[in-house]
Amino acid sequence: MTEFMSRSSWTDDPFPDGAAMLDPAEVEGFAVHWPGGSGSLSAANSVAILNGELKYHTNPEPSGRGWSDIAYQYAIDQAGRVWTLRGALRRSAANGSATVNERFGAITCLIGSRDTPSPALLQAVRDFRSKVWLARYPKATKVVCHSDIRPDGTECPGDKLRAHVRAGTFTTTGDIVTTLDEQDRDWLEKAIRAGVLAVLTEKRGRLGADPQLANASYADGIVVGARARLDSTAAVADLKGYVGERLDALAGAVAGIPPAVDVTALAGALAPLLQQPDVDEAELAQAIVAAMPDGLAQTTADVLAQRLAS
């Protein structure tokens, strides 16, 4: 849920006197900015980031810009918080010229070049536009990139935010439903494999000489299923639930596996289950028993049956 933060929540400096005000008859919309840089920005550091921007913008030249206040009207971070900076009434100093600042407001999204805008940030920009901006300037419907209006040109606000502006993400109503890009998918795959390894290590205590190989087949099953689920639903929350259910089922099912079982072979036998729309602990238990070598199947079945009945 979007949270709206007052100016006093991040600085003790009051609004400066004598600031130029926006004329509702002239305002066309607002421009999306970012701090830039080659790194990553955490929402945990938003207050420090904003105070750093304030110091740079208000310090006299050459160490600063010599402005009366932080340049932007609002900032929005990855946690979905909308921070009041100059506020909606006062003209920004961020767009590149006085004329452009009269026509467009300025918000800055607190991400770096290595960051992907979070669903919370994207939703917060929408909520800011509908609840704050259009409430004050109902005819100022445009959302543009800083690079669209700055007279001297700029790469701001970066390719990822620019793509959302171009796609109309911020001018569409309703809740954000976002898909994962390829970088996120790679992270997801690593997270799934790490989760499988952690579960098997905790429950079995012995994974053989190469634990990564030992659980690879099982992890592949979850990865394939997760990617298919993502492609079919495009809902990140649903995907997280899908993966979580499978790891929970795995944690319960492997509790009764005898130490003599070949985990690599077992993982290969179980993997196809994870590609199905639904899976539960009982199904995994049946697959485990079916994969047991002679002499262990009944013992394993008894242990798992007792667990499932408890």
What pLDDT score was predicted for residue 211? Answer: 40
> Which of 206, 188, 191 has its CA nearest to residue 264?
206
Q: In whole angstroms, what is the distance from residue 88 CA to residue 24 CA?
A: 11
Q: In whole angstroms, what is the distance from residue 23 CA to residue 7 CA?
A: 22
What pLDDT score was predicted for residue 235? Answer: 46
Q: Is 255 exposed, middle or buried (0-12, 13-18, 19+ CB in 10 A)?
A: middle
Check if the beta carbon of residue 290 is closer than 8 Å to that of residue 282.
Answer: no
What pLDDT score was predicted for residue 226? Answer: 54
Check if the beta carbon of residue 69 is closer than 8 Å to that of residue 15.
Answer: yes
Which two tokens mark 15? 């609004």
> Which of 119, 135, 162 has its CA nearest to residue 32?
162
What pLDDT score was predicted for residue 177? Answer: 55
Residue with tokens 């992890």: 219
| pTM (2 d.p.) | 0.60
Contacts of 137 (CB under 8 A, 6+ apart): 22, 24, 27, 88, 105
pLDDT tens digits for the chain (310 residues)? 899 999 999 999 999 888 899 999 999 999 999 998 778 888 989 999 999 999 999 999 988 999 999 999 999 999 899 999 999 999 999 999 999 999 999 999 999 988 888 888 999 999 999 999 999 999 999 999 999 999 888 999 999 899 889 989 899 877 765 444 555 455 445 555 555 555 555 544 433 333 443 444 455 555 555 555 544 444 445 555 555 566 565 555 555 555 544 544 555 555 555 455 555 555 555 555 565 555 555 544 554 454 444 4
Phi-psi map region of 25: left, alpha, beta (phi>0 left; psi -120 to 50 alpha):
alpha
What pLDDT score was predicted for residue 11? Answer: 95
Q: In whole angstroms, what is the distance from residue 175 CA to residue 235 CA?
A: 12
> Which of 257, 242, 239 has its CA nearest to residue 201?
257
Q: In whole angstroms, what is the distance from residue 33 CA to residue 145 CA?
A: 7
Three-state DSSP class for 61? coil
Domains of the chain, with CATH numbers? Answer: 3-171 (3.40.80.10), 182-309 (no CATH)
Which two tokens mark 288? 């485990």
